[in-house]
A and B are shown apart, each in its own frame.
Chain A
Amino acid sequence: MKHIKTINKANLKATAAKGGCGKCQASCQSACKTSCTVANQKCEKEA
């Protein structure tokens, strides 16, 4: 496209159907401890 560059897979909806296994880290246990950010967590679901 000339005007718009899409830079990622935009696959959030697909993750809803297969997600929710709960194996990932609790987000506040990492380095924040007084706030919450989830975007920096990684998925730990086994393939």
Chain B
Amino acid sequence: MIHKFKIDGYNIVLDVNSGGVHIVDDLTYDVLENVEPPFSDKCPDEVLKKLKKLYDEQDVIECYEEIVSLYNDKILFSEDDYEKFAKTAVSSPVKAMCLLISQDCNMRCKYCFASTGDYGQGRKLMSVETGKKALDFLIEKSEDRKFLEVDFFGGEPMMNFDAVKEIVKYGRQREKEAGKEFRFTITTNGLVMNDEQLDFINKEMKNVVLSIDGRKEVHDRMRPTANGKGTYDLIADNFKRFRAVRGDKEYYVRGTYTKYNLDFSEDVMHLYEMGFDQISVEPVMADPSQPYAITEGDLAKIFKEYEVLAHKISTILNSGKFINFFHFMIDLNQGPCAIKRLRGCGSGNEYIAISPDGDIYPCHQFVGIDKFHMGNIHEGTFDLDIKKEFAASHVYSKPECKKCWAKFYCSGGCNANNYLYAGDIHNAHKLSCQIQKKRLECAIMMRAVKLLDNAQ
């Protein structure tokens, strides 16, 4: 399978199964419209007849020979022989955990998937005891995995910061005893962050996700306080202070765009101009009846906007400055292995979420859905049937993914989005897919052009 696309004046051809990326001329692009394996030694007469109206005949013949040569080298129209690896997909050790340390929030974001922080289950905080037990559970289930990821998530985790500190302290003690390494992360809205908290987070957290949507009016419209006031002015200084001490350690500012700001490249640039150079901005996922929800009719504008964003980012990079947009990150040479690419995030299998009561779910977005309740760490229950179902949720078990060119890049997408908006973890959520594919095309183009420039 190949996928070809035109973007920013370049003709790009992706050989899906080898991962090969080719930049081709217009002639090759047109020849590829008309040929596919099995190939004969000579360019078929009907192709020649059709294309010699537009191109020199000898050039068409040469081009055909180049295509056949790459086919023989197995980097064009290469075979899909990965399904045998997918079929052996079995339950894996658990290596990542989302701790809902605070099922409460001091903001009332209008698009919140967690029902403004309480996941529809009432506002509550996780106890230190539950947090410690969750780390013990993770160590026990991690088998030979050394690096264990724990994300303090909410609601707003800073509302239970003393527990965060105690649990991190416990983790540092337990990792030595168990021969593991905890990689703690925190996702915060930045409303509360004094100097002491800031220093602790900077020291202990491997990655920090700072939630901010971009321009003040965009942010304030969707992210108010409980009493309806905008929060941009309250958080901007905290995040800038954090950025100043963070140096080159990992962090991201993370925003959500909605129907109200389909010109979201402006928000990415606003965040960059604030001094942030690690940026993630994603489409809101919401019921289509919500006025802010992104719908099919918005896609043309969104696709154009990603191209605008790619252009803006390339301009910054070409001027010798640095910016990283999370959703354009791609490594075309040393990325994750094909096995990793079959299953994606690992939710419900390698990755689980723990609620304040110690309930286990496949990920934070499944919390509160009874059907996906996997057990409880206090009761010592852990439903391996649900774990197996998620372990077997790979790109070859998802009919839409199996035939999709992007399957080795998005890896079957988000199981939660698939369930919530397409009815089953195996059903592709088409809106997400279309946006994902556009982001990938931009990312592949930007990287391919860079590699081509480096080679010349």
Contact = CB atoms under 8 A, between A and B. Distances in A.
The 5 closest A-B pairs by CB, nearest first: A19-B337, A10-B20, A12-B19, A20-B339, A40-B329
A13 B329 contact: no
B254 A8 contact: no
Contact of B344 (A5, A19, A36): A36
Contacts of A38: 336, 340-341, 344-345, 408-411
B169 interface: no
Contacts of A15: 336-339
B410 A36 contact: yes
Nearest to A19: B337
Contacts of B363: 28
Contact of A35 (B147, B329, B414): B414
Contacts of A3: 24-25, 27-28, 59, 62-63, 66
A5 B13 CA distance: 10
A25 B179 CA distance: 18
Given A7-B23, A20-B337, A35-B414, 10 more contacts: A1-B66, A7-B21, A7-B452, A8-B333, A8-B448, A15-B338, A19-B337, A31-B252, A37-B327, A39-B329
Contacts of A11: 18-19, 333
Contacts, number: 216
Contacts of B147: 23, 25, 44
A45 B340 CA distance: 12
B337 A25 contact: no
Among B337, B338, B346, chain A packs the most CB atoms within 10 A around the CB of: B337
Contacts of B95: 22, 26
A25 B62 contact: no
Nearest to B449: A7
Among B17, B22, B149, B345, chain A packs the most CB atoms within 10 A around the CB of: B345
Interface string B429-456: 0001000100110010000100110010
Nearest to A20: B339
Interface residues of B, number: 91
B175 interface: no
Contacts of B347: 28
B289 interface: no
B122 interface: no
A35 B429 CA distance: 11
17 contacts: A2-B62, A7-B23, A7-B455, A8-B21, A11-B18, A11-B19, A12-B338, A20-B339, A25-B96, A27-B346, A27-B411, A29-B98, A33-B187, A34-B256, A40-B326, A40-B331, A41-B340
Contacts of A13: 17-18, 74, 78, 81, 338
B455 A43 contact: no
B313 interface: no
Nearest to B346: A26
Contacts of B414: 28, 34-36
Contacts of A8: 19-21, 332-333, 448, 451
A13 B188 CA distance: 39
Contacts of B252: 30-31
Among A2, A8, A23, A32, chain B packs the most CB atoms within 10 A around the CB of: A8
B99 to A, nearest CB: 11
Given A4-B24, A26-B351, A42-B334, A12 B346 contact: no
B351 A16 contact: no
A33 B145 contact: no
Contact of B339 (A1, A5, A16): A16
A4 B67 contact: yes
Contacts of B345: 26-28, 36, 38
B22 A7 contact: yes
B97 to A, nearest CB: 9
Contacts of A31: 207, 209, 252, 254, 278, 280, 326
